[in-house]
């Protein structure tokens, strides 16, 4: 009987030790994993190429890795140019925009991994002299570290976007009194698609 109690007691002590070790590991996981600054090369190159030079777009994005899986994100940009609707109506203007949102990495199992798959949401708005438009986005993509020098990592990645315009009239895909092109959203319509291809640095 005494031998059994000794074995049970030893097992309890070992279990408590393992639990304490696991708790220590959890406590050591970093809450803040750094900031990544990204430039959208795809928007700067593809937007004028696909629109015969009539439209331009430049965008910077920042995200912050917190609690390993979460990435609060802020995206700032400037876009515009000459957009046409049919043969009778054209619009020429530039404006700024920003988007804010949150991404999650569903595959994050190892906090030390520098790579991330990202799925998230955005709320965006533009700033033009005569009108402000707002929209929401569902996004998915990734960011991959290609190299590291000291504590700075060099990153590349992409982000696909499904955009839903909030400022529209029911049953009407375009407002004749509103700008045809919405900076940060694209050609005015209920739904738009987008693809960002970025390079960046993580600090």
Domain extents in the chain: 1-28, 31-202
Q: What is the pLDDT of residue 107?
A: 83
Q: What is the pLDDT of residue 158?
A: 94
Residue 182 CA: distances (Å) to CA of 8, 56, 202: 70, 12, 30
Strand-pairing partners, residue 35, are 64
Cα separation, 72 vs 35, in Å, equals 10
Domain 31-202: CATH architecture, name and number where available: Beta Barrel (2.40)
Contact 133, 180 (CB under 8 A): no
What is the SS3 string spanning 3-56? HHHHHHHHHHHHHHHHHHHHHHHHHHCCCEEEEEEEEEHHHHHHHHHHCCCCEE
Q: 2 in helix, strand or coil?
A: helix
Q: What is the pLDDT of residue 40?
A: 96
Cα separation, 104 vs 18, in Å, equals 30
Q: What is the pLDDT of residue 176?
A: 55
As averages over each run of 10 residues, the pLDDT of the chain (203 residues) reads: 46 44 48 92 88 89 92 96 65 87 86 86 90 95 92 93 87 61 89 94 91
Contact 126, 100 (CB under 8 A): no
Q: What is the pLDDT of residue 22?
A: 43
Q: What is the pLDDT of residue 82?
A: 77
Q: What is the pLDDT of residue 175?
A: 52
């Amino acid at each position: 009987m005494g031998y059994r109690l000794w074995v049970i007691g030893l097992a309890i002590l070992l279990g408590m030790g393992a639990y304490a070790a696991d708790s220590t590991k959890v406590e050591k996981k970093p809450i803040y994993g750094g900031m990544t600054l990204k430039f959208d090369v795809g928007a700067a190159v593809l937007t004028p190429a696909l629109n015969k030079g009539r439209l331009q777009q430049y965008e910077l994005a920042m995200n912050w890795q917190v609690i390993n899986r979460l990435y609060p994100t802020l995206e700032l940009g400037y876009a515009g140019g000459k957009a046409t609707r049919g043969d009778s109506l054209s619009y020429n203007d530039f404006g700024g925009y920003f988007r804010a949102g949150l991404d999650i990495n569903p595959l994050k199992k190892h906090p030390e991994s520098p790579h991330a798959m990202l799925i998230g949401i955005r709320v965006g708005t533009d700033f033009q002299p005569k009108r402000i438009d707002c929209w929401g986005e569902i996004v998915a993509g990734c960011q991959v570290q290609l190299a590291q020098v000291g504590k700075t990592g060099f990153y590349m990645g992409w982000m696909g976007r499904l955009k839903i315009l909030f400022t529209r009239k029911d049953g009407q895909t375009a407002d004749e009194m509103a700008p045809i092109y919405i900076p940060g959203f694209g050609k005015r319509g209920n739904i738009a698609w987008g693809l960002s291809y970025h390079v960046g640095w993580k600090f």
